[in-house]
Amino acid sequence: MLNRLDLYEGLQTKSTYVPRPVAAGLTSLNIATLVPTAEADRYDIGNVRKVGVIIIDGTVVRIKPKTPIRRLFAMLMYARAPEMLWRDDSVSFDSDADLYSTIAHVFSLVTKTAIGGGLLRGYVVKDEALPVVRGRWRTTDQLTRRAGHPLPLEVTYDDYVADIVENQIIKAAALRLLRFPVLAPSVRSSLRQSLRLLDEVTTLPTGIRPPRVTVTRVNARYQHAMVLADLILSDRSLEHREGSVIGSGFLIGLWTVFEDFVGNALGQALHAHGGRATTQYLSLLDSAGQVTIEPDLVWARDSAVDACIDIKYKAERNGKYPNADLYQLIAYCTRFGLESGHLIYAAGDPIAGEINVVHGPTIYQHALRLDAAFPDILEQVVELAAMISAPSLRSAATKE
């Protein structure tokens, strides 16, 4: 029977009993900071940096986020496929579930819906040796492989089958989830039912990143399942490594979810005001080209940078945000000749703070309330875009 250890994102330092192999695993995966105490196998645990679930040496470690699971899931999906716009009421959520169990639950539901009415099929080119001509006869291969024998015939033909990449990816994700021992029985049963329908589909090799699939009119009903399958098969999913106490699981840093979500959502909202928004905008800071910078989001119009935005998954402390964030954004503003810059945080006073740097730019600090309903969070982003694009806050950007 598996033991269980519950941790919480942003956990204040707490003395907890942790078996030594588990403590080593938590440290190696950079999940939290553990400081040994005078008592054997007891550690002061703090600074929990990731959320999800992982099995380490027979212990299930669940790390729950401060943000409600349904809100976190909506942001995670929006960052990967903004056009899907998951609603809070799209599916039922267990408020006590961990993130990976939630992903598995939703994947089982959308997969059942996607393939329940029949598997998607497509044409696949096949090279085979057959007793009759089908498609195109490969005469060169016939001569080299068959040494003049008339049968079987080396042919190439198009076959309309279910063994296509979309079904292969969904099958791979279902198999990955079923290897995780801590799944709700209902989810496990649903996944097995889906696998029975996918029986004729080829199993992809483990450890190989599946190909990207473009959404079209033909495969649109698979879109939700494909987005989740890609997440399940991503490098955030962990598999057992030979000789390691670390088993299967799924871990993700909340800062990546927040930065990806805000970058995508704010970029789209700024697009409505003209110009083009670019995430992770790589540029050079110095004239010699030795120092690179990469603001989280840059909004440019007419070949000029109009706004520079940095996104931080941090909360204010004692009414203040870290000074290092200001220094970083001041450097960005200096590089692009901006009179103002914007810092966006995940918590704090939602009213924009304003810091007028001596002989430098004005830095505006904004905060999103993540405890709001997801449509309300998107509305906050739209209002933020209107504020950033307002003439009173825009800088006199120089031409690049």
**Residue 44 located in a structural domain:** yes
Residue 86 pLDDT level (bands cut at 50, 70, 90): low
Query: Based on the domain organization, do 181 and 269 belong to the same domain?
Result: no
Residue 395 pLDDT level (bands cut at 50, 70, 90): very low
Q: Where are the beta strands (DSSP E) in 19-146?
A: 33-36, 42-46, 50-56, 59-64, 122-130, 136-137
Q: What is the pLDDT of residue 397?
A: 41
Q: What is the pLDDT of residue 98?
A: 81
Residue 242 pLDDT level (bands cut at 50, 70, 90): very low
* Poorest-pLDDT segment among 185-194, 214-223, 311-320, 371-380: 311-320
Query: Based on the domain organization, do 226 and 282 belong to the same domain?
Result: no
**Residue 82 located in a structural domain:** no
Average pLDDT, the chain: 84
Distance CA 377, CA 132 (A): 62
Q: What is the pLDDT of residues 174-197, one digit of tens each?
A: 999 998 888 889 999 999 999 999
| Domain end among 132, 161, 190 | 161
Q: What is the pLDDT of residues 98-150, one digit of tens each?
A: 888 888 999 999 999 999 888 999 887 877 787 777 777 777 776 777 776 77
Pick the closest to residue 133 from 124, 125, 122, 142 (CA basis): 142
What percentage of the chain exceeds 70 in pLDDT?
86
**Residue 244 located in a structural domain:** no
| Domain end among 178, 212, 239 | 239
Query: Based on the domain organization, do 115 and 26 belong to the same domain?
Result: no
Distance CA 197, CA 362 (A): 59
Q: What is the pLDDT of residue 194?
A: 95
Q: What is the pLDDT of residue 399?
A: 37
Residue 358: pLDDT over 80: yes
Q: What is the pLDDT of residue 181?
A: 84
Residue 354 pLDDT level (bands cut at 50, 70, 90): confident
Query: Based on the domain organization, do 179 and 268 belong to the same domain?
Result: no
User: What are the beta bridge partners of residue 7?
Assistant: 63
Residue 153: pLDDT over 70: yes
Q: What is the pLDDT of residue 239?
A: 56
Distance CA 300, CA 307 (A): 7
* Poorest-pLDDT segment among 26-30, 64-68, 90-94: 90-94
Q: What is the pLDDT of residue 90?
A: 54
Residue whose tokens read 């003395």: 15
CB 131 within 8 A of CB 152: yes
Give CA 222 to chain center in angstroms: 18
Distance CA 199, CA 187 (A): 18
Query: Based on the domain organization, do 58 and 113 belong to the same domain?
Result: no
Structural domain boundaries, residue 179: 97-121+162-239
Query: Based on the domain organization, do 333 and 262 belong to the same domain?
Result: yes
Residue 351 pLDDT level (bands cut at 50, 70, 90): low
**Residue 77 located in a structural domain:** no
User: What are the beta bridge partners of residue 90?
Assistant: none
Residue 50 makes CB contacts below 8 A (sequence gap 6+) with 9, 29, 30, 31, 63, 251, 252, 253, 254
- At residue 247, φ and ψ (nearest 5 deg) are -100, -150
Query: Based on the domain organization, do 116 and 134 belong to the same domain?
Result: no
Q: What is the pLDDT of residue 311?
A: 94
Q: What is the pLDDT of residue 246?
A: 63
Which is more confident, 229 or 151?
229
**Residue 73 located in a structural domain:** no
Query: Based on the domain organization, do 105 and 134 belong to the same domain?
Result: no
Q: What is the pLDDT of residues 3-25, one digit of tens each?
A: 889 998 877 788 999 999 999 98
**Residue 305 located in a structural domain:** yes
Query: Based on the domain organization, do 103 and 212 belong to the same domain?
Result: yes
Average pLDDT over residues 369-389: 91
Query: Based on the domain organization, do 105 and 180 belong to the same domain?
Result: yes
Distance CA 50, CA 8 (A): 9
Query: Based on the domain organization, do 270 and 375 belong to the same domain?
Result: yes
Q: Where are the beta strands (DSSP E) in the chain?
A: 3-8, 14-17, 33-36, 42-46, 50-56, 59-64, 122-130, 136-137, 153-161, 237-238, 246-253, 276-279, 283-284, 292-293, 297-301, 304-312, 340-345, 353-356, 362-367
The strand pair at 283-284 and 292-293 is best described as antiparallel
Q: What is the pLDDT of residue 400?
A: 42
Q: What is the pLDDT of residues 271-303, one digit of tens each?
A: 999 889 999 989 989 888 889 999 999 999 888
What's this model's pTM, rounded to 2 decimal places?
A: 0.79
**Residue 332 located in a structural domain:** yes
What percentage of the chain exceeds 90 in pLDDT?
37
Residue 214: pLDDT over 90: no
* Poorest-pLDDT segment among 58-62, 142-146, 160-164: 142-146
Domain count, the chain: 4
Average pLDDT over residues 37-52: 90
Query: Based on the domain organization, do 197 and 282 belong to the same domain?
Result: no
Q: What is the pLDDT of residue 279?
A: 92
**Residue 223 located in a structural domain:** yes
Distance CA 64, CA 193 (A): 29
Average pLDDT over residues 223-234: 89
Residue 40: pLDDT over 70: yes
Angle at 178 between CA 181 and CA 225, to 5 degrees: 135
* Poorest-pLDDT segment among 105-119, 121-135, 312-326, 376-390: 312-326
Q: What is the pLDDT of residue 396?
A: 40
